[in-house]
Amino acid sequence: MIPELEYASFVWSSYGIFAVVVAWQILQPVLYRRRLMAELREEQALQSGEYDDPNP
């Protein structure tokens, strides 16, 4: 299934770098968005007085 290549380490490491960078391009906005949403919800809860302080 996996093709046998000459200079395999060079080829696979290139595709590995490509995969890592692409994965980061997908994940970074998702992770940032999750953090941002948590912040926004907390800010909104603070403003409306519904904030449930985890460390009272």
Partner 1 sequence: MIWKSIKVGFHRLGSPPTFYRFCLLLSPWLWAGFAICTIIGLYYAFYVVPPDYQQSDTVRILYIHVPAAWQAMAGYVVMAILAMIALVWRIRTTEIMAMMCAPIGAAFTLICLATGSIWGRPMWGTWWEWDARLTSMLVLLFIYLGIMGLYAAFEDRRKGARVACILVLVGLVNIPIIHFSVEWWTTLHQGKTIRIFGESSMHYSMMPPLIWMTIAVKLMFGAALLDRSRNELLSQDRRKGWVAKKLLGKGVK
Query: The tokens 């403003």 sit on which residue?
Result: 47
| CA dist list (Å): 23 to 17, 18, 35 | 10, 8, 18
Q: How far is the CB of 41 from partner 1 (least distance, A)?
A: 7
Among 22, 38, 46, 51, binds partner 1 (CB under 8 A): 22
As given in the structure block, the two tokens for residue 30 are 């998702």
Query: The tokens 């907390």 sit on which residue?
Result: 42
> Using the rule CB under 8 A, is 42 a contact of partner 1?
no
In the complex, the residues that contact partner 1 under the rule CB under 8 A are 3, 5-8, 10-11, 13-15, 17-18, 21-22, 24-26, 28-30, 32-33, 36-37, 39-41, 43-44
